[in-house]
Amino acid sequence: MPANSWPENDSDNGTSAPLNSLVSDLSAQQELVEDANAMSVLSHRFKRRTPKAALVLTIVWSGTIALHLVSWGYIFILGLTTILGIHALGIIFARPRHHHKEIHGDLPSVSLLVAAKNEEAVITRLVKSLCSLEYANGEYEVWIIDDNSTDNTPHLLAELKQEYKHLKVFRRSAEDSGGKSGALNQVLPMTKGDIIVVFDADAQVNPDLLLQVVPLFQKEQVGAVQVRKAITNAKENFWTKGQMAEMAVDTWFQQQRTTIGGLGELRGNGQFVRRQALDGCGGWNEETITDDLDLTIRLNLDKWDIECMFYPPVQEEGVTNVIALWHQRNRWAEGGYQRYLDYWDLILQNRMGTRKTWDLLIFLLIMYILPTAAIPDLLMSLIRHRPPVLTSVTGLSVTMSFVGMFAGLRRTRQDQKTSNYFVLLLQTIRGSIYMLHWLVVMSSTTARMSVRPKRLKWVKTVHTGVEKD
């Protein structure tokens, strides 16, 4: 899921890095000559999200009501459920690809980037971990971008810089904008790596992480790789246990979707991106609150593939209470919705290819449209004394989530000789109950975005320095 961010001004100042290869029909020469015009187009693309969201909400609500009023509404939904069911079966029975872990020739150079703000609780552990990775005699670089921290983070980084030759520190001023995206964009020109790796400050990784992941970039079409996110404090309470199951089902779906030619997605913490691909689509977008989801769309529009790996994972801290979870998930939902509003025309032009476009639209339907349509569907069913018209497709969605969660949790235990299926079943049931919060988050977020402008004031996830088991 999307990475952590921090508060900044809520403005559309048009300072995002250019995405000319995706959002303009200009030739390469024209882009150089008409750069100002291209930037104007880009700034316009990331505005007017509120009326777009309002239009979508109107269509979804009126369409759902119409399905209750026409005689063929239930038949239409059954037909849609059948189509989605065929796609679901393809996902369930797909066999994940096995990737070669050997590098032929020289290892590519790697730059590890971490944007950090007030992370004194975890920054020392992070630096020691990243500077101790196994890779080509240690020939890689680690960049910590201190976004004007006001706690003890700058002092700790100064001490660590004296100890580790890999470590490079860049401190941003209070005037620098763009949040995490702005921090990453500011340092990117200073890095040397052919592969850019982004971590959150609370990340904990295995020493062989680079040796396990980098070989995937031997496939020329791979533009990025996302490793599974695991929850360090999963045993703490119901919410953290739920997040553990959530990350398992998310990664399982990612692997299965890419296996059948669907869309791979980035999740912020633990994302590996080919520099060529990153430069080609303009770096990180500073006009979105979920930089990873936005970059996902642009990479796929630019014909790059994104792979997903279960092992090795990157450990991160899960939020421990319902208030923090609500703020975090609302940001994730809003950022995920923004990418459809921003790039809808390019998506419908099938620039990704048929399989990816189809997979993405199904994901949009299940994750955003269905929760939004649930409210008018329930109201109409009460008024007309009939079952909800979306019952069959909702049942398919819930079943897929349950199956995927069980399979994902089982795959997280692949290093164990035997799996306790009863324990996996209990974890899946608990995780499925936990996942019900997404229905409220998705429906409320899509409705709110229709009447309120985008929010760039985020609630920062607090990191406490929990050690992995």
Q: What is the pLDDT of residues 280-328, one digit of tens each?
A: 988 999 888 889 999 999 999 999 999 999 989 999 999 999 998 998 8
Bin 261: left if φ > 0, else alpha if -120 < ψ < 50, else beta: left
9, pLDDT greater than 50? no
pLDDT for the residue numbered 449: 87
- The residue written with tokens 């593939």 in the block is 305
Residues 9 and 260: their CA atoms lie apart, in Å, by 41
* Residue-level pLDDT at 103: 74
Task: Report the 10 Å Cβ neighbour count for 23.
Answer: 22
What pLDDT was estimated at residue 68?
96
Q: Give every strand in the sheet of 204-205, ordered side by side.
A: 167-171, 141-146, 110-116, 195-199, 271-274, 222-231, 305-316, 204-205
Residue keyed to tokens 């670089």: 141
Span 86-98, mean pLDDT? 90
**Which positions ≥6 away from 74 have C-beta within 8 Å?**
67, 389
Q: Which range, of 36-45, 272-281, 306-315, 343-352, averages the lowest pLDDT? A: 36-45
Query: pLDDT-derived band of residue 453, with 50, 70 and 90 as boundaries?
Result: low
Q: Would you state the pLDDT for residue 468?
A: 66
* pLDDT bucket at 24, cuts 50 / 70 / 90: very low
How high is the pLDDT of residue 425?
94
Q: Please give the pLDDT value at position 165.
A: 85
pLDDT in tens, 224-250: 999 999 999 999 999 999 999 999 999
418 confidence band (pLDDT: 50, 70, 90): low
> What was the pLDDT predicted at 40?
46
What is the average pLDDT across 81-87? 95
Q: 3-state SS of the chain?
A: CCCCCCCCCCCCCCCCCCCHHHHCCCCHHHHHHCHHHHHHHHHHHCCCHHHHHHHHHHHHHHHHHHHHHCCCHHHHHHHHHHHHHHHHHHHHHCCCCCCCCCCCCCCCCEEEEEEECCCCCCHHHHHHHHCCCCCHHHCCEEEEEECCCCCCHHHHHHHHHHHCCCEEEEECCCCCCCHHHHHHHHHHHHCCCCEEEEECCCCEECCCHHHHHHHHHHCCCEEEEEEEEEECCCCCCHHHHHHHHHHHHHHHHHHHHHHCCCCCCCCCCCEEEEHHHHHHCCCCCCCCCCHHHHHHHHHHHCCCEEEEEEEEEEEECCCCCHHHHHHHHHHHHHHHHHHHHHHHHHHHCCCCCHHHHHHHHHHHHHHHHHHHHHHHHHHHHHHHCCCCCCHHHHHHHHHHHHHHHHHHHHHCCCCCCCCCHHHHHHHHHHHHHHCCHHHHHHHHHHHHCCCCCCCCCCCCCCCCCCCCC
Whether the CB-CB separation of 300 and 306 falls below 8 Å is answered with yes
Average pLDDT in the chain: 86
Of 17-31, 259-273, 334-348, 426-440, which range is least confident? 17-31
Mean pLDDT value across residues 436-449: 89
Domain ranges, ordered by start, for the chain? 1-8+47-469
Pairing of strands 195-199, 141-146: unpaired
**Structure confidence by residue, pLDDT tens digits, 151-197:** 999 999 999 999 998 899 999 988 887 788 899 999 999 999 999 99
Q: List CB contacts of 150: < 8 A, sequence separation 6 or more.
A: 118
Q: Report how far residue 105's alpha carbon sits from residue 137's, in angstroms, rounded to the nearest whole number.
A: 15
For residue 93, the model assigns a pLDDT of 92
In DSSP terms, 393 is beta-bridged to none
Confidence of residue 419 (pLDDT cuts 50, 70, 90): low
The answer on pLDDT for 4 being more than 50 is: no
pLDDT at 168: 94
Q: What's the pLDDT score for residue 34?
A: 39
Q: What percent of the chain has pLDDT over 70?
A: 86
What tokens were used for 130?
């990243």
1-8+47-469 falls under which CATH superfamily? Spore Coat Polysaccharide Biosynthesis Protein SpsA; Chain A (3.90.550.10)
Question: Tell me, what's the pLDDT at 454?
Answer: 54
**Cβ neighbours for 223, distance < 8 A, ≥ 6 positions apart:** 273, 274, 276, 277, 299, 302, 304, 305, 306
Alpha-carbon span 183 to 192, nearest angstrom: 16
Amino acid residing at 66: A
For 461, residues 6+ apart whose C-beta sits below 8 A from its C-beta are 4, 317, 319, 324, 328
> What are the pLDDT digits (tens) for 103-161?
777 789 999 999 999 899 999 999 999 999 998 877 899 999 998 888 999 999 999 99
Residue 250, token pair as written in the block: 């998310």
Q: How far apart are alpha carbons 437 and 333 in whole angstroms? A: 12
